[in-house]
Amino acid sequence: MMREPVRIMARQILTSLVAVSFAGAASSLALAPGLALAQGAAPSAAPKASAKKEAPKPAPAAAPAVAAAAGGAEPTLIGQYGTWGAYSATPNGKRVCFALAKPSSSKTNPPNRPRDPAYAFVSTRPAERVTNEVSIMIGYQLKPGSESSLEVGGASYAMYTQGDGLWIKNAAEEERMVDAMRKAADVTVKGMSAKGTETIDTFSLKGLAQALDRIAQDCRR
């Protein structure tokens, strides 16, 4: 089972990205690549002939989360590959790199139950000797003790659940799971909310292999 500080770090960094995307790019959040303003891209209404693009500033409510997660340094987009963005940050002077994507489709049973957006997250943290750790921010509080799974390449992997996060139960299987994710077209994540709602999220894996190669390059030990 994964160490608690690792789970907390993953959730904090991802939460900060979600906060920045909601604060600065609400109009583009529905797009698959998403996080347009987190990339430093100008809003759609801005003039095209801007001489210099400025990095977005999070709303005041989001700023504390960003500062806490990234040690005062906001995550930086280092590449967009298909539906996956590759990011880097340096919280407390320690390099962190991660790939991030939104689901291509989401379903609930019963249907149309409200929830926050879900995100898939693959992180590398050299200082902790963590490489390609897969986690999911599911968008709701998971039912304690419920079973969740990640399905890819014809195999199903049991996921450890805590709060609104999912991590692989058997860490020894993670490398094989990531290798399957590099080769497959999509991955399906199943979970159950604290209120008993079943969810199925499908993430396109287009661009993931390139995003992982990029973060491996940027987060060399």
Residue 153's region, left for phi above 0, alpha for psi from -120 to 50, else beta, is left
Q: Mutual orientation of helices 63-70 and 4-24 as an angle, nearest 10°? A: 140
Q: Cβ(143)–Cβ(122) under 8 Å?
A: no
Catalogue all structural domains in the chain, each as residue range(s) with its CATH number. 4-41+59-218 (2.60.40.1880)
pLDDT 10s digits, 111-140: 989 999 999 999 999 988 999 999 999 999
pLDDT 10s digits, 63-110: 333 333 344 457 889 999 999 999 998 888 888 999 999 999 999 999
pLDDT on residue 157: 97
Residue 13: CB atoms within 10 A of its CB come to 26
Which of the pair, 170 or 2, is modelled with greater confidence?
170
